[in-house]
Amino acid sequence: MTQAGSTNSAVIVFGKNPQKYFTNAIVRIGRFKEEHIIIGDKFIQGNLFSQLEEAEEAIKGFINVRYDISGDSFKRKEIWDYPIKAIREALLNSVVHRDYFMSNRQTQIKIFDDYIWFHNPGGLPEGITIDDLMRLHSSFPRNPLIANVMYRSDFIEAWGTGIVRICSALLEAGLLPPEFKEEMGGFSVYFRRCVDIESLTKGQDLNNRQKKAVEYVIANDEISNRIYQELNSVSRVTAIRDLNELVSMEILKRSGKGKAIVYRIQI
């Protein structure tokens, strides 16, 4: 969207029913147990301000929160799976910088047990790479009029610092750095929960092979029977038995069928 699209920008940001003209101007948020098992689904419409507010609440409804009550204050502190600052920034980026002229695409957010995927239609501007995002860089909004409104409304700073704020918020929360990808004709951001073997195994009695496998999954997201065999120099039968025990202990979960079966962290 360029400066020539002022009417379109106004409709998207302030309109009572932008979807009448931009049917794709929707944020869809899903909660998944597996890639093919959906346990929650939200279609968020309205103008950009209402979408941002409703989308944040929908995400909060799909992730966990715990409370920390210290002696320093009578007020409890909310500790979410992911810092709300980082969620807000990724959400803002996904609606402010998306391509609204890709008529068959929506902003989509998928929430799994162990990660969140933010995806908006439209890749990075020409000449900009993901590596550039991780360094000091200027602001290059796809939709300058929308970005300007959000800047004047104190939603964004318009200095190209959003990525830094996401990284800082995740780091402060003790989580892994975000992952950025250009894929499927758009731009994606991944937030991943950070786990360690002690908290994951909860004192259960694992053999050395199983411990090594869990550490592998923490580092690489998943493990297959073949990789388990190679990692521990064991037979397929032993690998099946060990992995089945990890599933029974609810440390790993099994996904896929046949030769495509993999094992991931059960969070």
pLDDT the model gives residue 154: 72
Domain finish residue from 171, 192, 213: 192
Q: Do 166 and 41 belong together in one domain? A: yes
Give how many domains the chain has, as a whole number. Answer: 2
pLDDT the model gives residue 70: 63
Q: Do 46 and 154 belong together in one domain? A: yes
Q: What is the CATH number of the domain that holds 121?
A: 3.30.565.60
Domain finish residue from 144, 174, 192: 192
pLDDT the model gives residue 147: 80
Q: Do 249 and 175 belong together in one domain? A: no
Domain finish residue from 192, 220, 243: 192
> Each residue's pLDDT tens digit in the chain (267 positions)?
443 357 788 888 888 888 888 888 999 999 998 888 899 999 999 999 999 999 999 999 999 888 876 656 667 778 899 999 999 999 999 998 888 888 788 999 999 988 999 999 988 877 777 877 776 656 677 787 888 888 777 776 655 677 888 988 988 887 888 889 999 889 999 998 876 677 677 778 999 999 999 989 887 878 999 999 999 999 999 999 999 999 999 899 898 888 889 998 875
Range of the domain at 250: 197-265
Q: Do 249 and 159 belong together in one domain? A: no
Q: What is the CATH number of the domain that holds 253?
A: 1.10.10.10
Q: Assess contact for 23 and 52: CB atoms under 8 A.
A: no
pTM: 0.71
Question: Which residue type does 183 have?
Answer: E
Q: Do 146 and 240 belong together in one domain? A: no
Q: Do 166 and 34 belong together in one domain? A: yes
Q: Do 219 and 254 belong together in one domain? A: yes
Q: Do 163 and 259 belong together in one domain? A: no
pLDDT the model gives residue 267: 59
